[in-house]
Each structure stands twice: as structure tokens, then as C-alpha cells.
Structure 1
């Protein structure tokens, strides 16, 4: 008998996505509640403004490559909650961890803008952001991607092998900090570093990049999830451990005199950092 696995439905994980979901609930409540028509109209307009942003951005951004689209589709079809239901991995895996079209295209544009030839990715998941950046690397460019889980590493490698740019990516399966220490010992240096791993490790990763030559003198660091569902700017009692870790990381970076940075409200928050 053939077992049919139902595709998991993506949940909102960005501040905007969560806000739109809440506004949608409020709109439905307003439709069944006696409230002034002006208030009902204002609520509906607020929902329309929020709900229209992401689709409009998608429509007006260069479409992803065939290889990236296939990788995203394969990730969405994978039954992550079933596959890792017995704590087989050190972290919970879900399709929402994928960087996605807009962030992927943004990272790709950063590679073009900076002229980066050597990229380090700390935290890969199924490889969408890695492949997006690799597509912008020159033929002699190189990327090292750190991934702690062997299964998702193999998953990503299978997708990379179907892309003409996948050969630019080498995957190191180990805790990221161990791989970073090996790269330091080998005298490696990178023009662009993308951090998207365990949130509790962000400060340690940042410090190692700044305390060594792992980040090139004119290099940039991009950090994902720095708005983490809005938790860093919500009251502390509303934060999860990851939300608290991001709040501490953002504060740590803001106080570090060695760098300057900008936090962009892109998807779940992306911070761009440069060494002064």
C-alpha cells in the first residue's frame, strides 16, 4: 500500500506575516461584531496594506532560477516533523527555515555588489541561500557552508548537484564553531559571511569573525533572523530563548565599536555588518 504524506503548511514566522495573520482575524471578528463602519473600514484597510506587501515584492523581484525553485519545492514537500519526530537532530527542522526567494535574491545581489569571491555560510539547512549566493559568484569563486546535520547536508548536496553553480559550494558537516576554528587554523579568510544558525551561538560566531582574520579586512557579515518574529522588541516576558538570544546579539553588535551595521526589515530581519 502506498503511503501518502501530506505536505506541511507553512506558518507565518516573520513580524509582518504574524501581523497580517492577526489582522485577518480582527477583520473576521469585525464582520460579526457591531462596530462603527469607519472602524471596520480602517481595520480592513490596515489588513490590505499589510497583506499586499509580500506578494507585491515577490511580483516585482527577479524570479529565482530553476535550480532554486526546485530546491524550494523539494524542501516544502519534505515531511520534516515526521522525519525528525524522535529528536534525531540537534535542532527542530521545518520548511520555514528556508531563506526563500526575496532573501535569496537579496543575498545574491549583495554578492554582486561587494564583488565577493569567498563566502562562508554559518548554518545552511537545505541550501537555498547557499545556492543563491553561489549563483552570483564568479567561476573561480568558492563557498564553504557549515551544517551540523548530515541528513540536510545530503539533501542540499543532491540539489546542488543539479545546478551548474553547485560545484562552487563545499559543505562541512560539524558544529559551526569547530569548522570555523579549523578555517582559522588554515589561514582562511572570507569576503562575505552569512550567519543563519543556532541563535544562541550568534555572539560567539560574531566574536570569532572579528577576533580573527576569518572575516577579510573589507568583508561584510550578513545575519539572518535579527527581528525573529518581532520578539527582540517585544517585552522580555514575550520572548522565547531564541528571541532573547537575538535581542542580546543585536545589543552586543550595536555596542561593539569595531563595526557599523544596519538592521533591515527584510523577511525576519537581516543585519548587514562591516568592520570599521
Structure 2
């Protein structure tokens, strides 16, 4: 499996390294460039190595997701669209998400975009016994995959899955008077603004609640103004919209592909 690189600056350094080799640039310069790449990559590796690791259930979920034949599932007509293991949150961001949920003393978590269930199970693991995770997914195939993983963990019983269009499901949850302490948004990027507005306007976010957006940097496309990637442009649009909300307190954390944490100012500056 090719190494995943979330930092576009490192990708550019690799390109420069190849050019230097082709142009027979001075060996000392090439070595300095290689050292710079090694150092840049080491930061993420180091942070992960000293952070808490995943449970056995989460490690197994990640491993089996990485090995899952999603291409074949799509060819067989089992999935609604082509899926890729890179959609998964992964252990480092999963641990960060667990920290947010735990520090928030949350009991109710809402996730928009489940995939195979890594982040849902990660949240469930740090909730109290009576805590709940409600996770939204549009593809019925993934419900069966995730349920298989959840069944192998004692925390899986805290998770309920809602299949269908995310906005419609959010409206149904609002009708049920549901409220959540943490809302994790990691679905289709062109829906981010809609999901945010729906959660806020229908009072799904509880008093003192926290919203967390995944992929807020989108492989650098959010801040690289040269990017024409449609998904990156949607993420940038969402980021700018959130920036324009003077009623929101926000911080974009450059962990992996970017995690955007948003809260109501009235809940922060008490």
C-alpha cells in the first residue's frame, strides 16, 4: 500500500527531490532535502507514537477496513458508490476525537458519515455506560459491515445507526427532540454547510455542545488557492462560512487532514 501523505508541502518536497536527482544537483543539497523530508514526516509519526493507542476492537476494525475489497463490492453492486479505505478516520484522529468527547463529559454523540464505524466506536468507548452514539450513513451496505465490527466490542451496544439522507434524518431527529453534546461531521463535503445549519437551527446541539468537522484542510486544497479540486473548494467554502459566523467560537487544528472545532460563543464565554 502506498504511503498516505496528507501534507501537500511534503508531496512538493518529494517532487523537488526527484527533480534534483534528474538534474544531478549537488549531493549535499540532495542530502539536505532528504533530511528535511525525513524530519517533516517524523513529526506526525512521533505524535502518534506517544499518543494513546487504539483498543483491540478499534485496531481490528482499522486493519479489516484497510483489507476490505471495496472495489469488488462496488462491481458487485453492493455499494452505492466507489468506496476507499482512506475515508476512515484512523487511529490518530480517533484518539483526538476521544479526547474531545471525554473532555466534554459528553453522554450523547451524533456522527454524520459513518463508513465502517471507526469514529463511532472510538466515541462509544469513552462514553459512560448510559451514553449513546447515533451515527448517520446513506449506504445500507455499510450498515451491515459496521454492525459486524460493533458486535465484537462491548461498547458497540451504545451505537445506533440511521440509514438514509443525512439532512432528512437530522430533521427527524429534531422532531424527536433529540440533542447531542458532540456532533462529528465527516460526510459528503458539499453538505457540510447544510448539516451545520440544520444542527444549529433545529436545536440538535445541546447547551455547551461541540461540533467537529473532519478533513477541514482537504489535503491542502482548503488553503492552496491554486487548487481547483471540487471537494477541496467545498471544504474551503464551509471554512469561510464558519469564519463568517460571529456567533461561533472556532479553532482549526492541523491534525492529519485538519479538524475544525466549533462552539457557540455563548457556551464558551460564560
**TM tier relative to shorter chain:** over 0.9
**C-alpha displacement of 1:71:** 0.3
Separation (CA, whole Å) in 2 of partners of 1:13 and 1:120: 29
TM-score normalised to the size of structure 2? Answer: 0.92
1:30 pairs with one of 8, 17, 20: 20
Separation (CA, whole Å) in 2 of partners of 1:62 and 1:121: 22
Segment drifting more, 104-113 vs 90-99 = 90-99
**C-alpha displacement of 1:90:** 4.1
The aligned counterpart of 1:175 is 165
Equivalenced residue count is 265
1:78 pairs with one of 48, 68, 72: 68
2:203 pairs with one of 195, 213, 221: 213
**CA RMSD in angstroms, aligned pairs only:** 1.7
**C-alpha displacement of 1:271:** 0.3
Secondary structure in structure 2 of the residue aligned to 1:222: strand
Secondary structure in structure 2 of the residue aligned to 1:232: coil
TM-score normalised to the size of structure 1? Answer: 0.90
Secondary structure in structure 1 of the residue aligned to 2:222: helix
**2:256 aligned with 1:267, yes or no?**
yes
**2:239 aligned with 1:242, yes or no?**
no
Separation (CA, whole Å) in 2 of partners of 1:147 and 1:114: 24
Distance 1:124 1:233, change over 3 A: same
The aligned counterpart of 2:84 is 94
Contact map agreement 1:192 1:215 (CA 8 A) in 2: yes
Secondary structure in structure 1 of the residue aligned to 2:221: helix
2:4 pairs with one of 12, 18, 35: 12
Distance 1:163 1:222, change over 3 A: same
**C-alpha displacement of 1:25:** 4.3
The aligned counterpart of 1:39 is 29
Structure 2: state its 5+ residue gaps: 266-270
**C-alpha displacement of 1:26:** 3.3
Separation (CA, whole Å) in 2 of partners of 1:216 and 1:152: 28
Q: Can you list the C-alpha shifts for 1:168-217, whole angstroms capped at 9, x where unaligned?
A: 00000111111100000011100000000000000000001111210012
Separation (CA, whole Å) in 2 of partners of 1:157 and 1:46: 43
1:138 pairs with one of 106, 128, 135: 128
Q: Can you list the C-alpha shifts for 1:124-183, whole angstroms capped at 9, x where unaligned?
A: 100001100100000000110001111111101100000010000000011111110000
The aligned counterpart of 2:42 is 52
Separation (CA, whole Å) in 2 of partners of 1:233 and 1:222: 19
Q: Can you list the C-alpha shifts for 1:232-265, whole angstroms capped at 9, x where unaligned?
A: 11225x2221111101000000001221100011
Secondary structure in structure 2 of the residue aligned to 1:140: coil
Pairing of 1:64-75 with structure 2 (within 5 A): 64-75=54-65
1:63 pairs with one of 40, 49, 53: 53
Structure 1: state its 5+ residue gaps: 1-8
1:193 pairs with one of 183, 187, 211: 183
Separation (CA, whole Å) in 1 of partners of 2:187 and 2:99: 21
Segment drifting more, 35-44 vs 71-80 = 35-44
Separation (CA, whole Å) in 1 of partners of 2:56 and 2:178: 32
**C-alpha displacement of 1:224:** 0.2
The aligned counterpart of 2:93 is 103
